[in-house]
């Protein structure tokens, strides 16, 4: 368990950013706070997930591969998983080496295109996931206890809009001009 709590860390980050904002008045303070809060949120949720997975000997990246295979009906091509998980082929290979060694996933060459590698979730991998999902799902649900369903949906929509803004920045040669609202 961390020696600090995420909310107390956000409060300290806010104080720091306010100090910068007093010196750089055109700094978009709220926007910085949203982004820093998202970073803290992602980091702390991943750390919590790691703690839940550790007793099973599973790392977060391995869990994501197992979940991706599970969501695809149990099998997918490695290239598809790289794209779906935003992983490099080298990293996916390393993760899958571990999963194959532990007999949670199998690897086979595609019958029609031997350049393609099919990854399949083995029954032992599915059993592992099914044993982990109730506890993980309970933890995920607990994070949102203070939110009504409509608020959760709005938060998701807003986060998707934020991601769309990041996508737009990634396609532009120059920084976008800030719109005043």
Residue-wise pLDDT tens digits, 83-141: 999 889 999 999 999 999 999 999 999 888 888 899 999 999 999 999 999 999 999 99
Classify residue 122 by its DSSP letter.
-
Provide the pLDDT confidence category of residue 175 given band limits of 50, 70 and 90: low
Task: Say how many C-beta atoms besides its own lie within 10 A of residue 125's C-beta.
Answer: 23
- Please state, in angstroms and as integers, the Cα–Cα distance from residue 33 to each residue in 6, 64, 136, 148, following that order: 13, 28, 28, 23
- Per-residue pLDDT tens over the stretch 54-86: 999 999 999 999 999 999 999 999 999 999 998
CB 68, CB 125: distance < 8 Å: no
Q: What is the pLDDT of residue 167?
A: 83
> Does residue 156 register a pLDDT over 70?
yes
- Residue-by-residue DSSP string for 70-139: HHTTTEEEHHHHHHHHT--HHHHHHHHHHHHHTTSEEEEE-SS-TT-EEEEE-HHHHHHHHHHHHHHHHH
Q: What is the pLDDT of residue 4?
A: 58
Q: What is the pLDDT of residue 1?
A: 47
Q: What is the topology classification, in CATH, of domain 59-138?
A: Arc Repressor Mutant, subunit A (1.10.10)
- Per-residue pLDDT tens over the stretch 21-56: 888 888 888 888 898 889 989 999 999 999 999 999
């Amino acid at each position: 368990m961390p020696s600090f709590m995420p909310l107390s860390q956000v409060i300290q980050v806010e104080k720091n950013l306010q100090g910068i904002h007093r010196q750089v008045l055109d700094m978009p303070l709220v926007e910085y706070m949203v982004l820093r809060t998202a970073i803290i949120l992602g980091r702390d949720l991943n750390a919590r997930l790691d703690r839940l997975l550790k007793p099973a000997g599973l790392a977060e990246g391995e869990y994501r591969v197992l979940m991706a295979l599970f969501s695809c009906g149990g099998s997918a091509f490695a290239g598809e998983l790289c794209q779906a998980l935003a992983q490099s082929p080298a990293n996916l290979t390393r993760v899958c080496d571990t999963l194959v060694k532990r007999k949670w996933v199998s690897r086979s060459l595609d019958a029609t295109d031997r350049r393609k590698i099919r990854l399949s979730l083995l029954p032992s991998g599915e059993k592992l996931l099914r044993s982990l999902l109730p506890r993980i799902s309970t933890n995920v649900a607990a994070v949102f206890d203070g939110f009504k369903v409509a608020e959760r949906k709005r938060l998701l929509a807003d986060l998707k809009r934020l991601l769309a803004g990041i996508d737009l920045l990634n396609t532009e040669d120059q920084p976008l001009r800030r719109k005043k609202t």
